Structure 1
Amino acid sequence: MDKSLNEIMKTKWMYLNEDELKFYSLGIFIECICLSVVISIILNLLFKSDFMLCMSGFTIVSIMFTILIYKRDFFDEKFELFSPDLLQGTNQGLILFLFVSSFLVSWGFFCAALKYGLYNAIAFSLAVCFPGIFLLLRRNVYSNENNNSFYDGNGYHPLFHWVLGITVGSGPLGVSLTNFLKDMFVKGSFLNIDLISVVLALVLECFVLSPDVANKILPFELKRIEGMKKFILISLGLMMILLLFNMII
């Protein structure tokens, strides 16, 4: 190997050979662990979260990221991580990284919400994990074949919809799911108004993560930046309505 570790880390992932990829993966793992330590310290300071509990989950996610990096060719064959025409990553590849990132966010929410009770921790961690799983299952909607103008500033952008999904998950879906779990396991009540609230929140979650469906309903084009801005405002408005609904019930 002629390159130093510093040179390897500065090289684009798609151009590394097998030997260089091993060192690159090691560098990514070290960076992930360092980031995990920082996040764990912040959670400990803000929410009194157990440092070792935080690190245990973040270490697992770091390993997941490292495997994704190291098994580049395998995942490229399965998910088309790279576009030979654009000489860069694809939307499908981005979604795969967002999928793994969802577990990072989910564990962070679990550790933070554990201060307020186990049901809160479970509900919010499941709610914010949902967008990554949903995007992975519907990744063809965001594929480069269906979004040829994506790199010109248009097209369905998976990152935007993932962030919107996380926002909904950390808002109405997390709140309604918490109330539902408490009703089911504490009060022994299953069919109640909180179940309706969960269903409505899930519908909104699926709506913000399905631009192809929203595009057929709304009178503007979601593959355009201006249309996406309007969609974000509508989504946030619906989210606030659901939060108010949860407060009223």
Structure 2
Amino acid sequence: MSKNFLEIMRSPSTSLNSKELKIQTIMIFILCLIGSAITAFLISFRYPGAFLPFFLGVSLAAFFPFSLIFTWDFLKKHFNMDSRFEAEIILWSIISLGLSIELSILGYFSNNFIQGLGFGFVLFYPFMVMFFRKDKCFNEKSEIISNEKVFGYSIRHYWVLGSICGLCTIGYGFFCLSSFFFNGVPPIVISFLLIFFSLIVVYLVLCPDLMNKILPFEIRRKNGFYKYSALCIGFSFILLIILTILIGMFFW
């Protein structure tokens, strides 16, 4: 016997068939839209003009994860979704893409589209790198050292690490690009060179398998990951300080 809407909404997702799960997903998405509209309306009292960007941003950010239920068969056909690492990369990439679009929209309506786009890209870029390096680095093999189960190259942990380093490097490059359009400095060529150089830095951060051959500790172990994170974040902050001083001396 088929369930009504109320029964579907109250049932755990695991107890629903494919059709019922899609119905539940659509209903939850509609509730998210209603909640987003009410929240945006309340926020607009404090920040006039914020209704549309907030509503669009949250709605789009919610759309991407909810769309997974309708594209799951397609994803299973084209990707190895039985692999925990690959499935996690694909799913979080889609979610981060939604967040990136939300930040870009909020940036556009706050008259700072370039910085919004930059911060959104910072969240999405680590997953791009990890996706293309999933066969060589980010997979189940990284969790095994001589038959011993170890920390490995965790997708979520390296996304956080890549995003932090990206904010210090790629984010600063987009900040300089935004400054060029508003203030005329630094030159646009400098901004693009900073972004390009920063992409390389973050890419290298997300190559722990290569760094593991150079550094004197094992990055695949939890303590090694913490040391590696401290090293990468420290280097990114130092690089940010140096770039800020140099650009300030020559262009501001």
For this structure pair, what is the TM-score category when the shorter chain's length is used for normalisation? 0.7 to 0.9
Distance in 2, Cα, partners of 1:214 & 1:40: 45
Q: Answer yes or no: is the 8 Å Cα contact 1:124–1:178 preserved in 2.
A: no
Gap runs ≥5 in structure 1: 84-89
Pairing 1:240–2:244 present:
no
Residue 113 and residue 167 in structure 1: after superposition, are their counterparts in 2 closer, same or farther (change >3 A)? farther
Distance in 1, Cα, partners of 2:214 & 2:202: 16
Aligned pairs, how many? 237
Pairing 1:103–2:100 present:
no
Q: Aligned AA for 1:160?
A: H
Matched residue of 2:11: which SS?
Answer: helix
Residue 24 and residue 92 in structure 1: after superposition, are their counterparts in 2 closer, same or farther (change >3 A)? farther
For normalisation by structure 1, the TM-score amounts to 0.75
Aligned equivalent of 1:207: 204
Q: Deviations over 1:32-58 (max 9, x none)?
A: 547756986898799877232232233
> Which segment is superposed worse, 34-43 or 197-206?
34-43
Q: Whose radius of gyration is greater, 1 or 2?
A: 2
Matched residue of 1:206: which SS?
Answer: helix
Cα-Cα RMSD: 3.6
Distance in 2, Cα, partners of 1:42 & 1:212: 48
Distance in 2, Cα, partners of 1:47 & 1:134: 37
> Which segment is superposed worse, 42-51 or 130-139?
42-51
Residue 41 and residue 77 in structure 1: after superposition, are their counterparts in 2 closer, same or farther (change >3 A)? farther
Aligned equivalent of 1:59: 59
Distance in 2, Cα, partners of 1:2 & 1:132: 40
* Moved beyond 6 Å, runs of 4+: 41-49
Residue 175 and residue 48 in structure 1: after superposition, are their counterparts in 2 closer, same or farther (change >3 A)? farther
Aligned equivalent of 1:135: 130
Matched residue of 1:217: which SS?
Answer: coil
For normalisation by structure 2, the TM-score amounts to 0.75
Aligned equivalent of 2:176: 179
Aligned equivalent of 1:87: none
Distance in 1, Cα, partners of 2:107 & 2:34: 23
Distance in 2, Cα, partners of 1:103 & 1:164: 18
Superposition deviation, residue 68 in structure 1: 1.2
Distance in 2, Cα, partners of 1:59 & 1:108: 8
Residue 113 and residue 137 in structure 1: after superposition, are their counterparts in 2 closer, same or farther (change >3 A)? same
Q: Answer yes or no: is the 8 Å Cα contact 1:110–1:122 preserved in 2.
A: yes
Pairing 1:73–2:68 present:
no
Distance in 2, Cα, partners of 1:47 & 1:239: 34
Q: Answer yes or no: is the 8 Å Cα contact 1:106–1:125 preserved in 2.
A: yes
Gap runs ≥5 in structure 2: 248-252
Residue 48 and residue 241 in structure 1: after superposition, are their counterparts in 2 closer, same or farther (change >3 A)? farther
Pairing 1:7–2:32 present:
no
Q: Aligned AA for 1:225?
A: K
Residue 53 and residue 177 in structure 1: after superposition, are their counterparts in 2 closer, same or farther (change >3 A)? same
Residue 184 and residue 190 in structure 1: after superposition, are their counterparts in 2 closer, same or farther (change >3 A)? farther
